[in-house]
Amino acid sequence: MSRIPAVDQECCISCEVCVHLCPEVFRMEGEDGHSHGHDHDHGAHKSIVYNPTGAPESKIELAMDSCPAACIYWRD
């Protein structure tokens, strides 16, 4: 069973590193004009996992390791 990544919305600093490294899995909330029903605090875009199985775990782990706030984790 593959692991499911998640982003801690509280600590995401909206740097977009994960989105650039692994766009198949992460994207900035609020892009594409599509709302996911979350509250938009201060209008800041934060990273969300929109396709948990969109990339190999190794690629997701690279984004994880590169996140400056270390807020991407495996939800299992």
Residue 44 interacts with ligand SF4 (CB under 6 A): yes or no: no
At 62, the amino acid letter reads L
The upper half-sphere exposure of residue 63, i.e. CA atoms within 13 Å in the direction of its Cβ, equals 30
The answer to whether residues 25 and 72 touch, using CB atoms and an 8 Å cutoff, is no
Read off the tokens for 2.
Answer: 């593959």
Using the rule CB under 6 A, which residue among 3, 17, 23, 50 binds ligand SF4?
Answer: 17
Q: Which one, 14 or 51, has the nearer CB to ligand SF4?
A: 14
User: CB of residue 17 vs ligand SF4: minimum separation in angstroms?
Assistant: 4
The contact set with ligand SF4 (CB under 6 A) reads 7, 12-18, 47, 67-69, 71-72
